[in-house]
Amino acid sequence: MAMIAAVGSAAGKSIASFSRPARGHQQKGRPCCCFIDKSFLKHVESKAAPAKHNFRGRKGEVAMVAELTRTDVQAPPPAARHVSRKISSAASKAHSLTAERLEIVQSLDQWAEDALLPLLKDPNTNWQPQDYLPVSSDEDFIDRVRELRERSAGLSDDYLVCLVGDTITEEALPTYQTMLNTLDGTRDETGASPTPWGIWTRAWTAEENRHGDLLHTYLYLTGRVDMKAVQKTTQYLIGSGMDPKTENNPYLGFLYTSFQERATFISHGNTARHAKALGDEQLGKICGIIAADEKRHEKAYCRIVEKLYELDPDGAMLAFADMMKKQIVMPAHLMYDGESDTLFKDFSEVAQRTGVYTAADYADIMQHLVNLWRVEHRTNLSPEAQAAQEYVCKLPERVRKLGERAAAKAKKTPQQHAKFSWIFNREVALL
Ligand SMILES: [Fe+2]
Ligand SMILES: [Fe+2]
């Protein structure tokens, strides 16, 4: 396998390697050491989940380790993954917010107006995708496109796979607006609700809409990817939706979005750095400005959880532990291109190998949130919340160790490859 570039990823992370496609055969059923693969993790949850509020389960830890070394994990049958009707029938609890906690959320309207809405940007002054793309009405449009194509010629296949996966994740935005509007007490009841929560959700969606728009157009202009395969994957993904297991519960929902915005900030930040290292400065800028948006959105969602900790430390602590126990599934976990039943697992493995988004990042995000919300120092908690606190505080280190163990095991097995329709069925090395 010929390495063509080695670029440093985020500070303190390992060196990520990008490679040209190598010859090989796609092999299914290999363990994925990336914590973001839902199919890989669902067994962890079923086996490792301790009894309700017993977050200290040693048995669960053993099962989790065993899961990381499994070799027989099979992708679910196509119908279960690609037919949204069947997916929703497997959904977990619904409307789990208690009446007392609903009241707390409903008391936050003025707070949301003061603390969240100022974080939104004015469309009149905010960047737009056009600011980073050749202007099609300009006379030199064709020359600018030629330059863009020259710059992007050095992007490797594994980089393209990561960028396409990130783009498709952004393009499935209707699903995420839907998810926010499942939350009791904060949903946009009419579609044009004047509440701060309704305003936030629509404006957040509108800001996010620029991400997929910009990345999609840029990829189109490079001529490096099979746009029809990319668009087909997006259609499948929006059709499939997602189940983040947030139970219509804003405590769980905003924990999920806090985690997820940081995950996308990290991922886009890494694709920015890698684009620059591969010779495409402009693409680096594009991924960088998207990462900056994600960071601003992360700030908003983290503020909500911080407020919940202030008003209801027990509820916030139990919700944090609950979401961590269930694991944060990536928004694109139901990704499918009409061909590969292991597409999301394969994409996750390429992202893990190249350092775009890794198991270590997952652990780092947990630790960041534990520190941000001062989880360790919260006092006057109920015994249940104390158990949740202990569980959450120990989890990042535990996850980091499990990830390292799984990565070490993956290194000992032969290099595997998968074909990606997005890059005209060329093969890319997995873990
Ligand atoms: Fe985004
Ligand atoms: Fe985002």
Catalytic residue among 109, 127, 205, 404: 127
Catalytic residue among 157, 170, 171, 184: 170
Q: Is 294 among the residues known to form the active site? A: yes
Q: Is 264 among the residues known to form the active site? A: yes
Q: 176 C-alpha vs ligand 2 centroid, how far in Å?
A: 9
List residues bridging with 417 in a β-sheet: 26, 429
Catalytic residue among 166, 213, 261, 361: 261
Do the beta carbons of residue 403 and residue 390 sit within 8 Å? no
| pLDDT for the residue 24 | 35
* Residue 84 in this model has a pLDDT that exceeds 90: no
Give tens-digit pLDDT for 342-386: 999 999 999 999 999 999 999 999 999 999 999 999 999 999 999
Q: 141 C-alpha vs ligand 2 centroid, how far in Å?
A: 30
* Residue 261 in this model has a pLDDT that exceeds 50: yes
Q: Is 211 among the residues known to form the active site? A: yes
Question: Span 97-111, mean pLDDT?
Answer: 98
* Residue 7 in this model has a pLDDT that exceeds 50: no
Q: Which band of pLDDT confidence, cut at 50, 70 and 90, is reported for residue 82?
A: low
Q: Is 342 among the residues known to form the active site? A: no
Q: Percent of the chain beyond pLDDT 70?
A: 79
Q: Is 201 among the residues known to form the active site? A: no
Q: Could you give the CA distance from residue 72 to residue 368 in angstroms, rounded to a whole number?
A: 33
| For the CA of 169, the nearest ligand | 1
Give tens-digit pLDDT for 399-411: 999 999 988 888 8
Collapsed DSSP state (helix, strand, coil) of residue 333: coil
Q: 294 C-alpha vs ligand 1 centroid, how far in Å?
A: 6
Contacts of 360 (CB under 8 A, 6+ apart): 13, 14, 400, 403
| pLDDT for the residue 90 | 53
Q: Is 100 annotated as a binding residue?
A: no
Q: Which band of pLDDT confidence, cut at 50, 70 and 90, is reported for residue 71?
A: very low
Ordered structural domains, the chain, with CATH? 102-429 (1.10.620.20)
Q: Is 274 among the residues known to form the active site? A: no
* Residue 14 in this model has a pLDDT that exceeds 90: no
| For the CA of 294, the nearest ligand | 2
Catalytic residue among 67, 157, 213, 293: 293
63-77, 174-188, 267-281: range with lowest mean pLDDT: 63-77
| pLDDT for the residue 18 | 52
Q: Is 293 among the residues known to form the active site? A: yes
| pLDDT for the residue 70 | 33
Q: 212 C-alpha vs ligand 1 centroid, how far in Å?
A: 7
* Residue 176 in this model has a pLDDT that exceeds 70: yes
Q: Is 211 annotated as a binding residue?
A: yes
Give tens-digit pLDDT for 302-343: 999 999 999 999 999 999 999 999 999 999 999 999 999 999
Query: Phi/psi of residue 115, each to 5°?
Result: -100, -25
Do the beta carbons of residue 253 and residue 246 sit within 8 Å? yes
Question: Span 241-260, mean pLDDT?
Answer: 97
Q: Which residue has the higher pLDDT, 91 or 357?
A: 357
Q: Which band of pLDDT confidence, cut at 50, 70 and 90, is reported for residue 53?
A: very low
Task: Work out the end-to-end distance of the chain between its first and last CA atoms, rounded to an integer number of angstroms.
Answer: 13
Collapsed DSSP state (helix, strand, coil) of residue 130: helix
Q: Percent of the chain beyond pLDDT 90?
A: 76
Q: Which residues surround ligand 1, an ion (CB under 5 A)?
A: 170, 208, 211
Q: Is 208 among the residues known to form the active site? A: yes
Contacts of 333 (CB under 8 A, 6+ apart): 36, 37, 38, 39, 242, 344
Q: Is 294 annotated as a binding residue?
A: yes
List residues bridging with 16 in a β-sheet: 7
Q: Is 208 annotated as a binding residue?
A: yes
Amino acid at 204: W
Question: Span 177-188, mean pLDDT?
Answer: 98
